[in-house]
Structure formats: C-alpha cells, structure tokens
C-alpha cells in the first residue's frame, strides 16, 4: 500500500486510492462520476488518474461505508 503523506508522484491510479481507502475501484469510479472525487483523464486512451492532493483530501473525507451518503 502506498503512503499518501510521503508520495512524491503528482498522480495516483484508481486502484491505489481504492486500496488506501479500503474500497473497491468500482466505488472510487462511482465517486468520480458523482463529482465527489476529482480526476483527470490522460493519454490517448483516457486513463484515469487522481491528483495526489485530491487523493489526500479524499482519504480524510471518504465515508466509512464507501457509498458517499
């Protein structure tokens, strides 16, 4: 598992954030779609990446059950 406080990359992958939060990647994608989590789409295949600062904010605010409600 990555340590978001020490992470030096500018972006992380959806599955990495999901692991940090104890969620499934599907739940993280749902939060992106609902606007609860900001993400960027990069490259010709629109790969989803989450800015590290947004990931840090999200980890501190994610609901315990992961459903965003």
Measure the CA–CA gap between 24 and 44, rounded to whole angstroms.
25
pTM: 0.84
The per-residue pLDDT for 66 is 52
pLDDT by residue for the chain (69 residues), tens only, comes to: 889 999 999 999 999 999 999 999 999 999 999 999 999 999 999 999 999 999 999 998 876 555 554
- Provide the phi-psi class of 49: left if phi over 0, else alpha when psi is between -120 and 50, else beta: beta
The per-residue pLDDT for 67 is 55
Q: Residue 39: enclosing H or E segment and its boundaries?
A: none
The per-residue pLDDT for 1 is 83
């Amino acid at each position: 598992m990555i340590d978001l406080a020490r992470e030096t990359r500018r972006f992380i992958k959806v599955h990495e954030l999901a692991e940090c939060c104890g969620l499934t990647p599907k739940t993280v994608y749902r939060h992106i779609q609902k606007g609860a989590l900001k993400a960027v789409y990069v490259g010709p295949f629109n790969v989803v990446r989450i800015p590290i600062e947004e990931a840090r904010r999200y980890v501190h605010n994610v609901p315990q059950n992961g459903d965003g409600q």
